[in-house]
Amino acid sequence: MSVKTVRIGARGSKLSQIQAQSVLEKLREAAPQFSYELLAIKTSGDIDQHSSLSALGGEGLFVKELEAALGRREIDLAVHSAKDLPSTLMPGYRVAAVLERAPVEDALISANYPGLMDLPPQAKVATGSPRRRALALAYRPDFRIVEIRGNVDTRLCKLRDGEFDAMILARAGLIRLGMEHHITQILPPKDFVPAAGQGALVVESRSDDIEMKQLAEEIDSVYDRACFNAERSLLSALKVGCSVPVGAWARYEGGRIKMDALIAARDGSQVIRSSGFAHTRQEAKALGELVARDLLVQGGGDLLKHV
């Protein structure tokens, strides 16, 4: 009797392959009756390493080619960084699993300075994220922001060569790459609110593939899924994706889901914040909608018109 091979697709970047390999190993441990194969899928965002993410289309940039491979049945499951997912999936696809979340914080890396506030006047700070750009400028309006793309090794080389004074990256990615030792400051998430889904990995399947849905559920974290749902609900209610300066961080505290969120002006001149609680996992979606509504009442809609 032949053993079914489950084909897992992910972006071709080093980090994406490391993340997908960790998912593969969890699946193999949970369901050893299958064999597993990892496939690298080139995406638009990986091919063009020079244009900004917003110029390339922003939301869903790293997802659509993986979904196309799912649709053609070239792969059975796709692994994404949760922050790359659009707030609403295309018809025919589902989030089959949300894995236990890694640390959510943003991290500062600098060769010469221990923290964000220690950087010299007019310091060059590199980031490819509109949210990180806005929050860095909210802390220090004098910063000169440098748009940067590419893998972490390339960015570290540019930092060492003096092209900028510091850069801001996701702590989770640095941990997964074994590069956490480069971090000079972990930015506090209650102030420097992370992107929705930051630190989480998601497994996507075709909606009609019940076997793969049931397989992925073996590694699903119901608590992290609830937080993920709250954050995506906020994005959906705001009608925004990952290419705008919006932060959302839901987590369990004291038996409840707490969410902090913000909308920032692109230049950091204004940051609108809100927070809220939900008592059960079933209320996660409503929590995201509630916090989004409060952000809009405070004037967040006007900020979003100009980003």
Is-catalytic flag, 11? no
Which CATH number among 3.40.50.1220, 3.90.120.10, 3.40.190.10, 3.30.310.10 corresponds to the domain 106-186? 3.40.190.10
Which tens digit of pLDDT belongs to each residue from 89-139?
A: 989 999 999 999 999 999 999 999 999 999 999 999 999 999 999 999 999
Is-catalytic flag, 153? no
Tally of CB atoms within 10 A around 114 = 11
What is the spatial distance between Cα 115 and Cα 223, in angstroms, rounded to a whole number?
32
Active-site entry in 101, 132, 171, 225: 132
Is-catalytic flag, 157? no
Q: What was the pLDDT predicted at 228?
A: 97
Q: What is the mean pLDDT of residues 77-90?
A: 92
Active-site entry in 242, 251, 260, 273: 242
Is-catalytic flag, 144? no
Is-catalytic flag, 83? yes
Is-catalytic flag, 158? no
What is the spatial distance between Cα 271 and Cα 255, in angstroms, rounded to a whole number?
29
Q: What was the pLDDT predicted at 39?
A: 97
Is-catalytic flag, 266? no
Q: Which CATH superfamily is domain 1-99+198-220 in?
A: Periplasmic binding protein-like II (3.40.190.10)
Domain boundaries, the chain: 1-99+198-220, 106-186, 222-307
Predicted TM-score (pTM) above 0.95: no
Active-site entry in 133, 155, 232, 285: 155
CATH code of 222-307, in short, is 3.30.160.40
Which tens digit of pLDDT belongs to each residue from 44-66?
A: 655 555 544 444 445 566 898 99
Q: What was the pLDDT predicted at 13?
A: 92
Q: What is the mean pLDDT of residues 19-23?
A: 97
Active-site entry in 76, 84, 106, 260: 84
What's the residue count for the chain?
A: 307
Among 84-88, 159-163, 179-183, 208-212, the range scoring the smallest mean pLDDT is 84-88
Q: What was the pLDDT predicted at 229?
A: 97
pLDDT above 90: percentage of residues in the chain: 86
Active-site entry in 11, 101, 106, 131: 131
Active-site entry in 7, 94, 140, 149: 149
Please name the helix (run of DSSP H) or strand (run of DSSP E) that holds residue 274, with its range, or none: strand 271-278
Q: Average pLDDT over the chain, rounded to whole?
A: 93
Residue 227's φ and ψ, nearest 5 degrees, are: -65, -40
The DSSP-derived string for 102-161 is: ----EEEE-SS-SSGGGSPTT-EEEES-HHHHHHHHHH-TT-EEEE--S-HHHHHHHHHT
Vertex 191 angle, CA 186 and 192, to 5° = 55
Topology agreement, domain 1-99+198-220 and domain 106-186: yes
